[in-house]
Structure 1
Amino acid sequence: MAAHVPGSLHHLLLLLAAALPASALRFDLHSGHTKCISDDIKVGAMAVGKYHIVAPDDGSLSSSSQQQLPDSHRISLRVTSPYGNSLHYSENVQSGNFAFTASEAGDYLACFWAPDHRPSATVAFEFDWRSGVSTKDWGTVAKKGQVDMMELELKKLEDTIKSIHEEMFYLREREEEMQELNRRTNSRMAWLGFLSLAICLSVAGLQLWHLKNFFERKKLL
């Protein structure tokens, strides 16, 4: 039987995992289709992304092999904010990157699509999307600051702790927003229930009044 992990610990484990170096994810995209990836980013956090097509032999594309690929091995990308603002757009490319600082809190969408070709083709691409503390280039920090490995690890740990602390406050705010939304929804549903009951009682009263008048006119009462 699987062990139960508390919610707060689960969030903490997710945040620690996000702070570790992550490799790019690989996706398959069919011609004429769209694939969207979302990431929940808080206000003020920096996000960077890199993407490139993978050659059919499972190897990453080199600059010379890119020119030999057919037109079907190209992708387009649009990155949008939670309120639908466009942050990045590329059309019919084989690789690219983007970076932005989030001005809205919520789910950011990166939508890829491939040209519609006949016969249909499958385009494989790798996508690496990072936000927050994981966007920092620690190798550059070590070179510029000329610090030893222990100090570098301490800096990483400090930034990770700060990120977790900020993320916990962010999650708490989102939870409070959801609770407030639930309270408003329950209040509206209660008023709607009372209104529906009042309408039903009014219709029932009108029907009884109509039947009473009808029977009185027919002298059945």
Structure 2
Amino acid sequence: MVNSAVFLLFLGFTQCHFWKIGGVALELPKHATKCLSEDIHAHSIVLGDYSVLFDEHIDELPTVSAKITSPYGNTLHDTKNVSHGQFAFTTTEGGHYVFCFWQEFNPRGVKLSVNMDLRTGVAAKDWDSIAKKEKIEGVELELRKLEFQVQAIHDNLIHLRNKEDKMREVSEGTNARVAWLGIMSLGVCMGASMVQVWNLKKFFRRKRLI
């Protein structure tokens, strides 16, 4: 019973993670760039849209600029002087993708925010098109969604295991370097002590104290 509850809890957590639908509001400073980093797997579909938010009523709409870069610094989306926009791309490498926004036009100096809605992985699939193309609906469609979700969970577990292996390799390498550094430090201390003892003996013999 406990194992079933733990599994359901884990399934619920992964469902929230892989069906990533939601908005993130970023408050933009006047003369600075605000960025958001998201860890995304390789070969994942990424869809999103963003829009400028402000409280005051003004005639001229403020605008922002947006830039999205990959973990290796490649520019995937670069738009300037817009009040809203959309982006879509498929990742080629896994890692942290950076979404940056900054103010471009704000003559009244009002307080600006950007609301970004980001969807990745399973949540980015167009299930209406899939249902029409494969002529499925109802329970069959829900089972197909669960199938994609289980595959996403499996891929995420493999990704986490690979990251764990890399972290373990780094940790073992660091421990080995620290151990060798300790041995070298001990050797240097012992050598310095022997030199000091030899110098003291030489000094005492010169003074004929021993």
**2:97 equivalent among 90, 95, 108:** 108
2:175 aligned residue? 186
Gaps of 5+ in 2: none
Judged with a 3 Å threshold, the aligned counterparts in structure 2 of structure 1 residues 132 and 119 are, in CA distance, closer, same or farther, namely same
1:177 aligned residue? 166
Report the alpha carbon displacement of residue 189 of structure 1 after superposing the two structures with TM: 0.9
Task: Give the residue type in structure 1 aligned to 2:72.
Answer: Y
2:45 aligned residue? 46
Task: Give the residue type in structure 2 aligned to 1:191.
Answer: W
1:79 aligned residue? 68
Report the alpha carbon displacement of residue 176 of structure 1 after superposing the two structures with TM: 1.2
Asked whether the 8 Å contact 1:32–1:116 carries over to 2, the reply is no
Report the alpha carbon displacement of residue 125 of structure 1 after superposing the two structures with TM: 1.5
**2:154 equivalent among 152, 157, 165:** 165
Judged with a 3 Å threshold, the aligned counterparts in structure 2 of structure 1 residues 162 and 38 are, in CA distance, closer, same or farther, namely same
Aligned length: 206
Q: Secondary structure at the match of 1:82?
A: coil
**2:193 equivalent among 194, 198, 204:** 204
Gaps of 5+ in 1: 59-64
Q: Quick check: 1:91 aligned with 2:60? A: no
Asked whether the 8 Å contact 1:32–1:117 carries over to 2, the reply is no
Structure 1 window deviating more from structure 2 (164-173 vs 18-27): it is 18-27
Report the alpha carbon displacement of residue 115 of structure 1 after superposing the two structures with TM: 4.5
Report the alpha carbon displacement of residue 205 of structure 1 after superposing the two structures with TM: 1.5
Asked whether the 8 Å contact 1:53–1:126 carries over to 2, the reply is yes
Asked whether the 8 Å contact 1:74–1:115 carries over to 2, the reply is yes
TM-score normalized by the length of structure 1? 0.80
1:149 aligned residue? 138
TM-score normalized by the length of structure 2? 0.84
Q: Secondary structure at the match of 1:185?
A: helix
Same amino acid, percent of matched pairs: 37
2:15 aligned residue? 16
1:62 aligned residue? none
Asked whether the 8 Å contact 2:66–2:99 carries over to 1, the reply is yes
Q: Secondary structure at the match of 1:207?
A: helix
Asked whether the 8 Å contact 2:42–2:92 carries over to 1, the reply is yes
Judged with a 3 Å threshold, the aligned counterparts in structure 2 of structure 1 residues 9 and 198 are, in CA distance, closer, same or farther, namely farther
Judged with a 3 Å threshold, the aligned counterparts in structure 2 of structure 1 residues 214 and 84 are, in CA distance, closer, same or farther, namely farther
